Amino acid sequence: MFELGKRIGALCSAGDLILLNGPLGAGKTVLVQGIGSALGIDDVTSPTFVISRIHKAPLPLIHVDVYRLLEAGKASLYLDDLDLDSPREAAVTVIEWGGEESARLGEDRLEITIDRSEEVRAVTINAIGNRWAGLAL
């Protein structure tokens, strides 16, 4: 997952939105750590309890975990309160547990689903919009 994250991170530019989905323990945060590594950030940890962290770098990383918001049943309302629009234009934004409410943040995005139901982890990457057209990893 870390190496896949590095490959994705190497392709990122300012304004990119990446949504991650999968069960607890699927490797979402490890994937974000790989993205961070490609951006020159080595201290990426899960923002589960703080909801959002901004990692400063030449290309900053905004790492959001909406798991707690989903538990509360009001993810779309709380997501608005995070004010993600203002710094997103100059950063890469990765949202763990990023469903419909997160998808409205950008027409161009990567939606990545990690499945651990079998012994082998399966990753599905859906490139949405012109920005990611022709994505090859």
Question: What integer pLDDT is reported at residue 74 of this predicted model?
Answer: 57
Residue 136 domain-assigned? Answer: no
* H or E segment to which residue 61 belongs: strand 61-65
Residue 137 domain-assigned? Answer: no
**HSE-up of residue 56 (Cα within 13 Å, Cβ side):** 0
Residue 11 domain-assigned? Answer: yes
Instruction: Identify the DSSP state of 19.
Output: E
Q: Could you tell me the CATH number of the domain that includes residue 112?
A: 3.40.50.300
Give first-to-last CA distance, the chain, whole Å: 13
Residue 51 domain-assigned? Answer: yes
Low-confidence ranges of the chain (pLDDT < 50): none
pTM for this entry: 0.87
Task: Supply the range of the domain harboring residue 10.
Answer: 2-130
Residue 19 domain-assigned? Answer: yes
Residue 66 domain-assigned? Answer: yes
Residue 87 domain-assigned? Answer: yes
Closest CA to 12 of 84, 124, 92: 92
The domain tally of the chain equals 1
Question: What integer pLDDT is reported at residue 76 of this predicted model?
Answer: 56
